[in-house]
């Protein structure tokens, strides 16, 4: 195997389906980093299965045309912002409801003409953070909470993901938590960091009480502004920002499919 072939064998394509953009990249699984730039296309409206699959196919095609790309037949990992059980979407809180009970793995595999495996977006971010980022080497329960359009969560124990923990939908004070404490809820309600941190305090204290984790990792777009609100929180659990920032979903999607196909451990 030549040096470049050897390198390529650890490269896997990952795609992250978000509410506003669909982003893809070639992931180097040894480093947990993207090789080259990511490709981003606006999420189509409505974000229904067919138009979304078209965009995913376009991104994968563009990446596959690169010199560094893995083989055309190699598996692709994709994230989705809802519950994914056995390749079927089971919820769609912030996306088109036509995804519910839709066989997403099968549909994308047919559409792309190569194996595709879909994973919940926060689960992907969680896997990436514990393997390569802020949760590396931490034993016990690590909770990765993403603050974005909704609240996503990944429950990881001793490095193993317990999939589909939907902690963004805990009912707190009579509300679905993500409708009060997501990044979008802060913008929608026009509140400052101090008021937002009060909402986060209520949320994280409750989650801490339920699970007593070793570590909280906060992801999503506003993890970039963590200095504004994390120091205001009083918890017994350490709480730190994610390290992979907006690449976590892409990296985690690639990692997940690579583990399933035994391309990596």
Instruction: State the residues that interact with ligand BGC by CB under 6 A.
Output: 81-83, 91, 93-94, 120-122, 146, 148, 150, 152, 166, 168-169, 178
C-beta closer to ligand BGC: residue 48 or 261 = 48
Q: Which helix (DSSP H) or strand (DSSP E) does residue 114 occupy?
A: none
C-beta closer to ligand BGC: residue 70 or 148 = 148
What does DSSP say about strands 76-80 and 116-120: parallel, antiparallel, or unpaired? parallel
C-beta closer to ligand BGC: residue 35 or 125 = 125
Q: How far is CA 117 from CA 114, 151, 156, 167, 233, in A?
A: 10, 22, 20, 23, 37
Closest separation in Å from C-beta 93 to ligand BGC: 3
Closest separation in Å from C-beta 170 to ligand BGC: 11
Closest separation in Å from C-beta 89 to ligand BGC: 9
Closest separation in Å from C-beta 73 to ligand BGC: 29
Helix intervals (H) in the chain: 3-8, 49-64, 104-112, 121-132, 178-181, 183-189, 193-211, 226-229, 248-260
C-beta closer to ligand BGC: residue 108 or 155 = 155
Closest separation in Å from C-beta 119 to ligand BGC: 10
C-beta closer to ligand BGC: residue 70 or 220 = 220
C-beta closer to ligand BGC: residue 11 or 204 = 204
Q: Number of H helices and number of E strands within the chain?
A: 9, 14
Cα(265)–Cα(259) distance, integer angstroms: 6
> Which residue in 197, 263, 146, 117 sits closest to 155, CA to CA?
146
Closest separation in Å from C-beta 219 to ligand BGC: 10
Cα(79)–Cα(221) distance, integer angstroms: 16
Helix axes 49-64, 104-112, angle to 10 degrees: 50
Q: What is Dmax (Cα atoms) for the chain? A: 60
């Amino acid at each position: 195997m030549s040096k470049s072939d050897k390198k390529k064998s650890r490269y896997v394509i990952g795609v992250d389906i978000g509410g506003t953009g669909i982003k893809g990249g070639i992931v180097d699984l040894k480093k947990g980093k993207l090789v080259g730039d990511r490709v981003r296309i606006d999420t189509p409206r409505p974000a229904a299965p067919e138009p979304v699959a078209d965009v995913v196919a376009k991104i994968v095609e563009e990446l596959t045309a690169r010199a560094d790309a893995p083989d055309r037949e190699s598996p692709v990992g994709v994230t989705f912002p809802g519950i994914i059980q056995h390749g079927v979407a089971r919820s769609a809180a912030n996306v088109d409801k036509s995804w519910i009970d839709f066989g997403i793995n099968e549909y994308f595999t047919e559409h792309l003409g190569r194996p595709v495996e879909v994973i919940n977006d926060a689960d992907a971010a969680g896997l990436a953070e514990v393997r390569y980022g802020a949760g590396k080497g931490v034993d016990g329960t690590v909770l990765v909470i993403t603050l974005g359009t909704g609240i996503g969560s990944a429950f990881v124990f001793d490095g193993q993901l317990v999939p589909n923990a939907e902690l963004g939908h805990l009912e707190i004070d009579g509300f679905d938590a993500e409708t009060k404490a997501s990044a979008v809820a802060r913008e929608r309600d026009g509140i400052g960091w101090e008021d937002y941190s009060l909402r986060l305090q209520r949320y994280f204290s409750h989650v801490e009480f339920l699970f007593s984790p070793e570590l909280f990792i906060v992801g999503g777009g506003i993890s970039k502004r963590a200095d504004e609100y994390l120091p205001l929180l009083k918890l017994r659990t350490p709480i730190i920002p994610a390290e992979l920032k907006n690449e976590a979903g892409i990296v985690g999607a690639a990692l997940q499919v690579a583990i399933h196909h035994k391309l990596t451990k």
